[in-house]
Chains A and B, each alone.
Chain A
Amino acid sequence: MKNHGEARGDAIRKIAGWKRRVELGGFIGPAVFLFALFVVYPIIYLVYGSFFSWSGVGTMEWIGWANYARLAGDWIFRLALRNEVLWALFTIFPQMFLGFILAVCLNRPLFGRNIYRAILYMPAVISPVVIGIIWQSIYDPYMGPLADFLRSVGLGSWVRAWLAEPQTALFAIIAVNVWKWTGWSMIMYLAGLQGIPEEVYEAATIDGVNVFQRVTKIMWPMCRGTTLTLILLGVIGTLQEFALVYVLTKGGPNHASELLTTHIFNEAFTLRNMGYASAISVVLLIIGVVMSMLQLRYTGSGKTARGVL
């Protein structure tokens, strides 16, 4: 039998435990609730729904792995996967090199430095819908400024309906994306360049290193971390891309510029194949999670992640 004092101690501990739990609930409760309701539950629902045939209204019919089997034979899905790869390659590398060159030019004090930086980054803050509509008229083969320019320099034969031809549609959108995000790469490289200690340059100057060598042998290799971050975040950005393609081509012509996201959108909200759209979403989600794990493991954000992963 416990004596009076011990029982009282238990009670106090119990109350303290409850108080602690209530307090903890106050801190994490609202965040965890919203996270569970709008992130975790939808992901579970997504996986569940990918095993059914359903249209969003009416009943759901269990069809097992049929939606996934369908993926294997879906040429649009394969085309979308190929386009994701092309999109990632032709967005990430041009914007990276251009961003690096711009950052090198802006790394040291220069007249108009802030103006250059402000203008070059500006496209990144503007809504992709607005950007899409502007570029639609830039690409206009009859009255657009790009066609005008090509005609005026005698390259009129190069003019075509860039967004309406299957061979050029995807690359025309990618060019817009590079325009939008180069300033972002530049800012990231500027941050990276600021991290190079002044002594490194001083030592190099004493060794008689010229400007070109300074850029290729010191600045570029010392920004390796930024480069890796840009590649991984670029892939993650590619997987999230939707608005620009939707506004410019809706994935057309004849699916030539289709990405996984536009394919999901068409299957789900145009064709009402919710089950099949869920299966594509699951694939996209898995690629996305793998990419963000890689990003955490191999870049700066890994500092916190390394303990967990």
Chain B
Amino acid sequence: MRTLTIRQRETLGQLARHAILLPITLIWMIPIWMMFAVSLRPVSEMFSSGIGVVNPTLDNYAVVWRDNDLLIHFKNSLIITGSSVLLIMILASACAYALSFIRFRGSSTLFLFMLMTMTLPVPAVVVPLIQVLKRLNLLNNYLGLIGPYVALGIPFATVIMKNAFDGFPREIEEAARIDGCSNWGIFLRIVLPLNKPSLAVIAIWSFMQTWNEFILAMLTMTEVVMKPLILVPIIYNGMYLSFPGHLFAILSICTVPIIVFYLSMQKHFVSGLTAGAVKG
């Protein structure tokens, strides 16, 4: 061992790291690989076991695409998630601006409330929330999900944005005020544009929260045409029991957009993920 050069040692270390990473990563891929493999199997191979596929075909995709209006569910998800993310970004950063730049009575109480509900388990409030939605006549209505998603997302987003704003140089704010800039002017023209990274963090975070939210979506959207994408596999789980290829084609269709989105935004995902806990 003593005769190894630094370079040889480095190579050896890299090999050792590959030796740990490669098997784990391959095992980790199996479920996702299997989803695509089963979805590509022709009917003749439908019930063959294993995770391989001998004669891949897109038949399953053609069938489920023809028989189901999957675009409707995709559209529902986009409307619900898109509006929620946008509203969370706007409302939470405005609220955080007030908490950080404007002194007002009750601000620390409001902030404490937000801190306490930041990680509220959604299933703990579904019982009363469904009653509220019923009374407001918001069941099977986009607003019935957007409203609660925004409200549940605001605490965390406000805390993240307030942290960012608290570190904002006061000299810039004072200079703008002396130039006659109002609070709205400072907020919209100076503070927001200079805090884009934090906005990206809350955008990614609230996107993940709302896109994959399940229990409230299931209870609120009981009509098939209103269901977001996450509920679609549930509808077809029983229906395609005897056609795993069809079911897995649906799973793949539901999953591909989010994987593409994740891969193209990987950097933001990572910072969005660690910001809440490490930096936040």
Contact = CB atoms under 8 A, between A and B. Distances in A.
A188 interface: yes
B278 A179 contact: no
A43 B244 CA distance: 42
Contacts of A35: 113-114, 117, 151, 154-155
A292 B128 contact: no
B28 A242 contact: no
A240 B123 contact: yes
B116 A45 contact: no
B18 interface: yes
Interface string B71-101: 0000000000000000000011011011100
Given A23-B184, A289-B116, A292-B118, A31 B91 contact: yes
Interface stretch (A4-12, A88-96, A263-271): A263-271
A83 interface: no
Contacts of A305: 115
A144 interface: yes
A144 B31 CA distance: 11
Interface in B9-50: 13-14, 17-18, 20-21, 24-25, 28-32, 34-35, 38, 47, 49-50
Interface residues of A, number: 101
A219 interface: no
Contact of B108 (A211, A242, A291, A308): A308
Contact of B152 (A38, A134, A264): A38
B125 A28 contact: no
Contact of B276 (A148, A183, A268, A301): A301
A264 B120 contact: no
Given A284-B121, A301-B159, A126 B32 contact: yes
A145 interface: yes
B94 A30 contact: yes
Interface in B87-142: 91-92, 94-95, 97-99, 102, 104, 108, 110-132
B178 interface: no
Contacts of A179: 28, 31
Given A300-B280, A308-B111, A135 B121 contact: no
B31 A39 contact: no
Contacts of A300: 277-280
Contacts of A187: 270, 273-274
Contacts of B279: 300
Contacts of A37: 132, 147, 151
Contacts of B104: 24
Interface in A127-152: 127-131, 133-135, 137-138, 143-145, 148
Contacts of B277: 188, 226, 229, 233, 299-301
Chain A interface main SS type = helix
Interface residues of B, number: 101
B104 to A, nearest CB: 6
A27 B95 contact: yes
A137 B244 contact: yes
Interface string A236-255: 10011011001100000000
Contacts of A40: 113
Interface string A271-306: 000100110011011001101110110011101110
Given A105-B17, A300-B279, A246 B29 contact: no
B183 A277 contact: no
A108 to B, nearest CB: 8
A31 B92 contact: yes
A123 B159 contact: no
Interface stretch (A70-78, A113-121, A164-172): A113-121
Q: Which of A126, A143, A225, A291 has the most CB of B within 10 A?
A: A126
Candidate in B94, B123, B162 with the most chain A CB atoms within 10 angstroms: B123
Interface centre among B102, B118, B125 (most CB of A within 10 A): B125
